[in-house]
Structure 1
Amino acid sequence: MHGKLTIVGAGAVGTSAAHWALAKSVAKEVVLIDVVDGLPQGKALDCAQSSPIEGYSGHIKGTNDYEDTKNSDCVIITAGLARKPGMTREDLLEKNVQIVKTVTQNIVEHSPEAILIVVTNPIDAMVYTAFKVSGFPKQRVVGMAGVLDSARYRYFIAQELGVSPNDVSALVMGIHGDNMLPLTRLASVGGVPVEALIPKDKLNEIVKRTQNGGGEIVGLLKSGSAFTTPGLAAIEMAEAILKDQKRVLPCAAYLEGEFGIDGVFLGVPVVLGRNGVERILEFPLTPEEKDALNLSVEAVKRQVESIHGI
């Protein structure tokens, strides 16, 4: 186990992340913090009591005091309002900007060397907020988007083909929203191109379902949004950072010319290691893929332009 991990927000996603952090022995010390008195303490105690079963030998603490997060190596920000039926991720923008701003200021004060993983929606705008407020270099601020979206994409492909999701390789780029880009050209099963196995109309349906993956769950739950896989996706990123795994994962990274895009956070394949985003893996896109990715860029820029007070 490596380092200290702080998870901000003891709601469903934050609690899920804390659980997965223990189950996967990601960090020697996990801190779960929230503004609600008793909530992170109770959630942390519940998680801690699973350690004899999970085999986890580290330490988890619930707190309302940022002093307890001091000198964290990695911080996952999940704090914010969740989507409700009929709400878009953009509807959350104004309220969650202020939450992420406050959280980031506290993290910078107590853990100035931390790497930030932003999960709060709308992710691409919230990670930009954390980047601007923190003043951290771009490598140390990253958004969780493509890891979750790609997991959904891979699962839907596996379902269609009746194969193990472990054997499905697929990439989702762009915004974490309706304009995300699940690449069909690069998707494969055991090295076999998915386009050779799934009819185009059915593959288009899978793409659409992936783009609406979060909305589908919100609609079914009626109250609240997805939490189990988002929490795990964030922990996969934290594990890559804390254990210096050099994992290639699709994340919202700050682009400065890559893919012809400049000045926004957008989901792209990156190498995640101890220094955060250590490299962006750039590759040629088809004209159609470029057009689709530009829709993401325009959507993210609209979000960023509407942010005030950072």
Structure 2
Amino acid sequence: MNGRKKVTVVGAGNVGATCAQEVARRDYAEVVLVDVKPDLAAGKALDINQAGSVLGYEPTVVGVDASGYDASAGSDVVVITAGLPRKPGMSRDDLVKTNETIVAEVTREIAKRSKQAVLVIVSNPLDAMCHVARAVSKFPRERVVGMAGILDTARFECFIAQETGLSVKEVTATVLGGHGDQMVPVVSATTVGGVPLDQLVSAAKIRKMVERTKVGGGEIVKLLGTSAWYAPGAAAAQMVDAICLDEKRVLPCTAYLQGEYGIRDLYMGVPVKLGAGGAEEVVKLRLTAAEKKMLKLSEAAVRDVVQVLTHR
């Protein structure tokens, strides 16, 4: 459409609809919103389009149900949020078998219609679902990436800004590892306005922020009764921007590792150069001994979940 990029978002629930709205507001893409529930995607697409007049973007969002996958054909990026959300007391790992079936079916439908797309996986358990999408699509590793580290990093940065009383725009942090309780906030690479975090905040307070970050999703589930959506939707949209606009941004994403960080044949959260080709390069960070140990624990936790998958 008029030279615009084409972005499909599968799953018109809270996360998917938020991502679709954020991408629409950037005004560079036609957005196709797909959901298995009849009329849900069409209704949300209409609502997003009508906001365009107020916010200043073109109404280019199309909503279809699961019989309308043909509308997604030729997408540059496909964001997959489909799957059951977490409920109170439910771990991400509890979701694995049910969501594997859903993500596998969605990926099959997408891959045969958009053979050159980059897939951005948001469905949980995130690391495992990346394995499913890669196995089913048979896409090269750089074109199947997961949205986790940006969200986890955003949570960490938010807590740091609140603790220091400084602008979140000045906070630079990175969270590595699996998208779960074993994630690794890299304190050694965290700064506020270029000042190392440990020069601004006590070690005890840093530990508290790290622990809160690790259970950040669960904290919101307890408060809302369901998973977060504003920050995850915005984080997925940031990845879409980096790919569609070929920004070459270094962002923490879930990528398939083949020896990087000493990890092989596994999806893990690492800094990657994100551009038109997807995860174009894994960026190496110099980690402390303690951080390397935590990353190994995170690797083991992710492998435990991946082992139960049919598609891996």
- Quote the RMSD (CA, aligned, Å): 1.0
Distance 1:133 1:209 in 2: 35
Counterpart in the other structure of 1:48: 49
Deviation above 6 Å: which 4+ runs of structure 1? none
What is the CA–CA distance in structure 1 between the aligned matches of 2:33 and 2:311, rounded to whole Å?
27
Partners in 1 of 2:5 and 2:286 — Cα distance? 37
- Map Cα deviations across residues 7-41 of structure 1 (whole Å, 9 max, x no partner): 0001110011111111222x420000011110000
Provide the C-alpha distance between the structure 2 equivalents of 1:75 and 1:234, rounded to a whole number of angstroms: 10
Give the corresponding residue for 1:76: 79
- Counting matched residue pairs gives 308
Distance 1:89 1:67, change over 3 A: same
- Deviations for 1:83-105, whole angstroms, at most 9, x for unmatched residues? 00000100110100000000000
What are the residue-to-residue correspondences of 1:139-288 with 2, within 5 Å? 139-222=142-225, 224-288=226-290
Q: Closer, same or farther in 2 for the Cα pair 1:61/1:186, shift >3 Å?
A: same
Whole-Å Cα distance in 2 between the matches of residues 53 and 299 of structure 1? 46
The answer as to whether partners of 1:146 and 1:267 remain within 8 angstroms in 2 is: yes
**CA distance in 2: counterparts of 1:93 and 1:283, whole angstroms:** 30
- Please list the CA deviations of residues 140-175 of structure 1 after superposition, one character each: whole Å capped at 9, or x if unmatched: 000000000000000100000001100000000000
Q: In 2, distance between residues paired with 1:139 and 1:302? A: 23
The alpha-carbon deviation at position 125 of structure 1 amounts to 0.3
Residue matched to 2:21 = 19
Q: Secondary structure, in 3 states, of the residue corresponding to 2:222?
A: helix
Q: Is the 8 A contact 1:2 1:243 kept in 2?
A: no
2:122 matches 1:119:
yes
Cross-structure match for 1:299: 301
Identity between Structure 1 and Structure 2 (%): 48
Amino acid at match of 1:184: V
Structure 2 portions without partners, runs of 5+: none
Deviations 1:86-142 (A, max 9, x none): 001001101000000000000011111100000000100001110111000001000
Question: Residue 93 of structure 2 is aligned with which of 87, 90, 93?
Answer: 90
Provide structure 1 residue ranges, at least 5 long, that are not aligned to the other structure: none
TM normalised by structure 1 equals: 0.98
